[in-house]
Amino acid sequence: MASVGSVTRQIAAMEISSKKPTPASGSSIRPALTKQPSGQNVTKLLTKYAAPNPFTNASNKPNNPSSLRHPIPHSTHSSTSTKPTHATQSSIDIGRYDGGLELDNEKRGEKVYGEAAEELALDSSVSRKHPTREWSLHDFDMGRPLGKGKFGRVYMVRTKSEPRYILALKTLYKSEIVQSKVEKQIRREIEIQQNLRHPNVLRLYGYFHDEKRIFLMLEFAGKGELYKQLSKYGRFSERRSSRYIEQMADALIYLHGKHVIHRDIKPENLLLGINGELKIGDFGWSVHAPGNRRMTLCGTLDYLPPEMVEGREHNEKVDYWALGVLTYEFVNGFPPFEDRSSVNNTYRRIARVDLKFEEKDIRLSEEFKDLVTKLLRYDPQKRLPLTEVLKHPWIVKYRPKDVVRESA
C-alpha cells in the first residue's frame, strides 16, 4: 500500500507546496535529482483505473460534453462513450477503503465561519461556465488511499452512477486552508483548472464541500509522477524528451490562449496518463492574467527566468523560459543554472544566462542545443514562440510519422 501511495501521492496535482520557501518569497529549492531503485512496479495495475479521456482526437477542441455532466441522456452517452466500457469500469477492483476520511474528520479540521466559509463553499453544480450535477460523498464507492496531501488525503473512487468512472478524490480541510492563508489561492486553482479542456492538462471534473472539507474530483493519471520517472532513470533520451516537450508546448499554447500563465513548470508538477501522455497539473502558482503583466515572484528557483530574479514585470513568456529549462533537465538530468553550493550563485547564473552544455557522459545533438538556446534568452521577446517550437527540427525529428500537426 505504501508503494501505491508513493507513486500517486500527487495524483490530484492540486498541491500547495509545503516546502519551506527560499530567501526569495514564493520560490523553492528542489532536492538534488538522484537515481532511485525501481521498486515494485504498480503502474501496470494503476493504468487500469483511469476515467476515459474525454478527448477522441488531437484537435484540442472537443465538442462532446463530459460524461460527468448533468443531465446527459443515456443514449447520447452510449453513442460517444470511449474505452474502458461500463462493464469493465464496474468490474475493476478499486481496492479496500480504510475508513480514513471518517477517522480524519473526527480529529482533524474545524468548521469555518463568516467570509472564509463563504469563500470556501465551493460547488461545481452552481458553476457559471461549466455546471455539473450536484455531487456528495454518497455518490462514490470508496477505494484504496492513494496518498496524503498537505490539506488532506487522496482516494481512488468510483462513481456509483453510470458509467462508473474511476477518479482520484482529493480532500482539503477548510480550517487548514484558512490557517495557511491560502483561501484565494485554492479558489483560484479550482476556478482555473475547472475551465481547462486539453489532453495534456489534468482534468478537474467537479468539486463539492461539506461543513469542514472541500472535495476535488480529478482525472486519474494512471502512470503517476513524471518526476519519479526522471529520478528512476536519471535522464531521458532525446527522443522521449522531444515527445514530452511537444506535448508541453501544445498545452502551453492552449493555456496562454486562455490567458492562463502557469508560472511553475517543473517535473514535479507533471503527471503521466494511462498511455504515458504528459499531463500538466498543480496550478497553485497559475494566474488568469488577461493583461499578461505580473510582478509576483513565484515558482521554483531553478526555473525562475531573469525577469523574475531581477524583480521586473513578467508575462506568459516566463513559461517559454521554463520550457527551455525543462528541455535541458529532461536530457541532462539536472537544470542548466543549478549551483548546489549557493542560492546566490544560481541567481547570478540565471541573470547572466550562463548556459553551458556538458557532454561528459552523453553526446548532445545540435538540434537539441539549438532549441534550448533559443528558449533561454534573457530578453523575453526574443524567446522562440511556442508555435515555432512545434516546428523546430528537434521536435519534428522525433514526431511519429502518423502524427500530422496543423500549421499554427
**356 is known to lie in a ligand binding site:** no
Q: Is 264 a catalytic residue?
A: yes
Ligand-binding annotation for 107, yes or no, is no
pLDDT of residue 404: 64
Residue 13: the pLDDT is 35
Of 336, 266, 347, 344, the C-alpha closest to 310 is 347
Report pLDDT for 87: 43
Q: pLDDT (tens digit, 9 = 90+) per residue, 9-21?
A: 333 333 333 333 3
150 is in an annotated binding site: yes
Q: Which three cell numbers stand for residue 160?
A: 456509483
8 A C-beta contact, residue 262 and residue 323: no
Give a yes or no: residue 47 inside a domain.
no
Q: Which residues is 157 bridged to in the sheet?
A: 142, 167
Of 207, 334, 226, whose CA–CA distance to 279 is shortest? Answer: 226
* Confidence at residue 383, expressed as pLDDT on a 0 to 100 scale: 97
For residue 5, tell me if it sits in a domain.
Answer: no
In a domain, 197, yes or no: yes
Residue 156 lies in a domain: yes
**Domain annotation covers residue 51:** no
pLDDT, averaged in runs of 10, over the chain (408 residues): 37 34 44 41 36 37 39 33 44 84 88 91 89 94 83 89 89 92 87 90 94 92 87 95 98 93 87 91 51 42 89 90 97 92 89 89 94 97 97 96 62
Question: Cell numbers at residue 244, please?
Answer: 514530452
Count Cβ atoms within 10 A of the Cβ of residue 3 and give its class: 0-12 exposed, 13-18 middle, 19 or more buried. Answer: exposed
Residues 403 and 250 sit within 8 Å (Cβ to Cβ): no
**Which residues, 6 or more positions from 351, have their beta carbon under 8 angstroms from its beta carbon?**
306, 309, 310
The answer to the question of whether 141 is labelled as a binding residue is no
* Total domains present in the chain: 2
List the grid coordinates of 206: 467537479
| 219 labelled ligand-binding | yes
Rounded Cα–Cα distance for residues 12 and 217 (Å): 8
Q: Are 314 and 299 in contact (CB under 8 A)?
A: no
Considering the domain architecture, whether residues 214 and 324 belong to the same structural domain is answered as no
CA angle 231–235–241, rounded 5-degree value: 120
Per-residue pLDDT of 286-323, as tens digits, reads 443 344 443 333 346 889 999 988 888 888 999 999 99
Instruction: DSSP for 196-231, please give it.
Output: ---TTB--EEEEEE-SSEEEEEE---TT-BHHHHHH
Measuring CA to CA, which residue among 110, 122, 107, 112 is closest to residue 170?
Answer: 122
206 plus 244 within the same structural domain: no
What single letter denotes the amino acid at residue 257?
G
Kindly state whether residues 236 and 185 are assigned to the same domain: no
| Nearest Cα to Cα of residue 12 among 214, 176, 250, 236 | 214
Query: What is the rounded radius of gyration, in angstroms, for the C-alpha atoms of the chain?
Result: 21
- Answer yes or no: do 271 and 246 share one domain: yes
Q: Is residue 42 part of a domain?
A: no
Do the annotations mark residue 221 as ligand-binding?
Answer: yes
- Report how far residue 52's alpha carbon sits from residue 163's, in angstroms, rounded to the nearest whole number: 10
Same domain as 112, residue 148: yes
Q: Give yes or no: residues 232 and 299 share one domain.
A: yes
Q: Looking at the structure, do residues 244 and 379 belong to the same domain, yes or no? A: yes
pLDDT of residue 193: 87
The whole-number pLDDT of residue 91 equals 66
At 225 the pLDDT is 82
Partner residues linked to 153 by β-bridges: 148
Domain enclosing residue 357, as ranges: 226-398
- 41 by DSSP, 3-state: which? coil
| Same domain assignment for residues 202 and 236 | no
Model pLDDT, residue 262: 84
- Do 260 and 140 lie in one domain? The reply is no
Phi then psi dihedrals of residue 147, to 5 deg: 160, 180
- Together in a domain, 153 and 259: no
Q: Which of 123, 139, 210, 264 is catalytic?
A: 264
Q: Are residues 232 and 216 in the same domain?
A: no
Instruction: Answer yes or no: do 187 and 208 share one domain.
Output: yes
